[in-house]
Amino acid sequence: MRGGLWQLGQSITRRLAQADKKTIGRRCFASDADLKKTVLYDFHVVNGGKMVPFAGWSMPIQYKDSIMDSTVNCRENGSLFDVSHMCGLSLKGKDTIPFLEKLVIADVAGLAPGTGSLTVFTNEKGGAIDDSVVTKVTNDHIYLVVNAGCRDKDLAHIEEHMKSFKSKGGDVSWHIHDERSLLALQGPLAAPVLQYLTKDDLSKMYFGEFRVLDINGAPCFLTRTGYTGEDGFEISVPSENALDLAKALLEKSEGKIRLTGLGARDSLRLEAGLCLYGNDMEQHITPVEAGLTWAIGKRRRAEGGFLGAEVILKQIEEGPKIRRVGFFSSGPPPRSHSEIQDSNGQNIGEITSGGFSPCLKKNIAMGYVKTGNHKAGTNVKIVIRGKSYDGVVTKMPFVPTKYYKQ
């Protein structure tokens, strides 16, 4: 078991480093002095956090417990993640929605106020610039959270199009929430523990919904969402209140909710079949190929109007040439870029994320294969360090999701 845990940790560390290198170049080799720190940095260190470079930040990959144990604990009890390295921003103005709909695939106009959805920023070729959760606070206020490693790229992209839009008379402005920190509270104890710290009735708040409310005495943005497949919340809190809130959440859980790092966050999202940008989504992969066609609203499919719409809508009509699928496999855990072959030894794709599932106690992976080889039950070979091992295409998520829905 010790060897298995070590391999799991090494696998996740490599996978995160690979995504980091793709998104921010060689900055992953920056010295400690060059790395940014969240306001909880000292709190992580005091609690045994093993800090590693990620997307230009010093972030905890794990704490005193193993990655396997913390993954399982999230599903059985709960986890508290510091995700303040991610970038929250607000777009405001009467033309905010038409502006944003030029850049993303979501039907933002169709969202009810106080609700949100996963979406994708696309380029002119239909590829994914980044994935994001977009929330309609009101008809003239949109709240977004984008990935840390894509921050500079995303903000430059938004700003370029905003300047053009405003030059033609469009009313839109933005605010980047660098004054706030972001905590992710995930797992079956997330709601009952958070309820101790707010007067709002969380039982009436469902997956994808957003509120501005007081939590532990601080004005917070609360979204019922997450990156684990579990019920949970992302809490945007003024940075001066972040440490007190983190301590209060851990205290109210009586030790059952634990501080959790990037290692378990990665294994949890893989078990939930969720993409890691830089591995499973990149600028040459479209939302259709990534299995995110459901995120393209019906009206958007009819009208288009977003970057790369012609390519994406054609793929919806005709079908994509490649598709993201899940795998179970034998042998060592698959790694990013492991070759996928059919039964005749012909290359049909490659793995983008893979590892040993702490909850299922077996190898899981996702990757892209040529259409025709994507159906569940299809037998494949996965090549790892020059040797081929049996694999089978399987549906995702690997672990059932537990989102809190009506």
Angle at 134 between CA 397 and CA 400, to 5 degrees: 15
Q: What are phi and psi of 185, to 5 degrees?
A: -110, 115
310 annotated to bind ligand: no
59 touches 85 (CB < 8 A): yes
Phi, psi of 27 (to 5 degrees): -65, -15
| Token duo for residue 304 | 């288009």
Angle 364-368-371 (CA atoms, 0-180°, nearest 5)? 125
217 contacts 198 by C-beta, under 8 angstroms: no
Distance CA 243, CA 43 (A): 8
Distance of CA 95 to the CA centre of its chain: 28
Between the CA of residue 193 and those of 74, 228, 234, what are the distances in Å?
A: 14, 18, 14
DSSP string for residues in 68-121 = HHHHHHHHHTEEEEE-TTSEEEEEESTTHHHHHTTTBSS-STTSPTTEEEEEEE
Query: What residues contact residue 51 under an 8 Å CB cut-off, 6+ apart?
Result: 41, 44, 45, 58, 59, 60, 61
How crowded is residue 77: how many other Cβ atoms within 10 Å of its Cβ?
17
Q: Cα–Cα distance between 272 and 300 in angstroms, integer?
A: 27
Q: What is the dihedral of CA 135, 139, 140, 145, to 10 degrees?
A: 0
Give the ranges where 239-338 is alpha helix by DSSP (H): 239-252, 262-271, 298-303, 309-318
Spatial separation of the C-alpha atoms in residues 19 and 250, rounded to whole Å: 30
Which residue ranges are tagged as binding site for substrate? 234
Which residue ranges are tagged as binding site? 234
